[in-house]
Chains A and B, each alone.
Chain A
């Protein structure tokens, strides 16, 4: 049974990845389309979603070492970082703080549950880091995944257009801005503009994870 669920997930991912290569639109992000395929197969074969939780458990085990590996793009592009270290650090920290500040304001305006409030606070970082932060703050896994994925897609769809509208054309600036807020989904999208954009976005994603952890830690 586990094998069946694993195969469904893997095959869905491979098809989704191929589709994104053909049509690289943020709405067709492999994680999203892959998830849809998995759900369609599970419901049409009348399989149980509760049983599918075992795959989540396995993925959770692999997520730790995979997240650690996010240091690799940072290491690889250390000369790019060295050339723009001040701008990147300030851009990332300012961007993450601004998004967090806006979330804080909206949380104070509306009477959200702890789950939703936490999901809004951690939404700008990549899924595994957001999940860890959610566990530390006491939130809800599904709500966090929902806000994180939405942030990624919305950032990838509107981010580049908004940056252009405000005359931000520097490749590293664009990558940094997208990566620090729209994490992996944004990175997969902005890399189509160029290698420099993609590299700085991957670096920003990792650094933004550290920044958000520090900011939330201080607040807590």
Chain B
């Protein structure tokens, strides 16, 4: 049990270090990627080129991805404090979001399928 906890914390520290390295890199070099995205790309590169063994981040990383939603709850709860937005503008916003979402999904799916079919011929 204690060993499991230790492994979890060690892996969390590793992910944390990569995150901070990403933040630092984004900041230092004025990258267009935000720090957490840079960290994500870095972790992928580290894993892909076997610089970092997958086992070293597997436990905490898999757990974090699975329960990422838990960390969103406090931010979502904060939405009730939102003011200065009327019901009418909310409706307009929802309409824009709905259309934009449908267009995005359809474009992604169609482009994928179009290229896929082209490859088969």
- Which residues of A are at the interface with B, using a C-beta cutoff of 8 A? 9-10, 12-13, 29-32, 34-35, 38-39, 42, 49, 52-53, 55-56, 58-59, 62-75, 78, 84, 86-88, 90-92, 94-99, 102-103, 106, 110, 116, 120, 123-124, 126-129, 131-133, 135-136, 141-143, 145-147, 149-151, 154-155, 158-159, 162-163, 166, 168, 170, 172-174, 176-178, 180-182, 184, 188, 202, 204, 206, 209-210, 213-214, 216-218, 220
> Could you tell me which residues of chain B, from 53 to 71, have a CB within 8 Å of some CB in chain A?
54, 57-58, 60-62, 64-65, 67-71
A155 in complex: contacting residue of B40, B57, B101, B113, CB < 8 Å = B101
- Chain A residues near B115: list those with CB within 8 A: 86-87, 90-91
Find out whether the CB atom of A95 lies under 8 angstroms from the CB atom of B111.
yes
Find out whether the CB atom of B48 lies under 8 angstroms from the CB atom of A78.
yes
- B112 lies within 8 A of chain A by Cβ: yes
Given A67-B19, A90-B111, A166-B110, A181 contacting B36 (CB threshold 8 A): no
Closest 9 CB pairs of A and B: A217-B32, A95-B108, A99-B104, A132-B34, A91-B112, A177-B109, A65-B15, A98-B107, A56-B74
Find out whether the CB atom of B78 lies under 8 angstroms from the CB atom of A110.
no
Question: In the complex, A57→B96 CA distance in Å?
Answer: 31
Find out whether the CB atom of B113 lies under 8 angstroms from the CB atom of A68.
no
> Could you tell me which residues of chain B, from 40 to 87, have a CB within 8 Å of some CB in chain A?
40-44, 47-48, 54, 57-58, 60-62, 64-65, 67-82, 85
Minimal Cβ-Cβ distance residue in A for B100: A102
Interface string of B8-34 (1 = CB under 8 A from A): 000010011011101100000001111
- Chain A residues near B43: list those with CB within 8 A: 68-69, 71-72, 75
Number of A-B residue pairs with CB-CB distance less than 8 Å in the complex they form: 306
Question: How close is B89's CB to chain A, nearest CB, in angstroms?
Answer: 8
Question: How close is A27's CB to chain B, nearest CB, in angstroms?
Answer: 14
B112 in complex: contacting residue of A103, A120, A177, A206, CB < 8 Å = A177
Question: In the complex, A102→B106 CA distance in Å?
Answer: 13
Find out whether the CB atom of A176 lies under 8 angstroms from the CB atom of B16.
no
Question: How close is B46's CB to chain A, nearest CB, in angstroms?
Answer: 9
Find out whether the CB atom of A86 lies under 8 angstroms from the CB atom of B119.
yes
- Chain A residues near B69: list those with CB within 8 A: 13, 29-31, 34, 184, 188
Question: In the complex, A110→B93 CA distance in Å?
Answer: 10
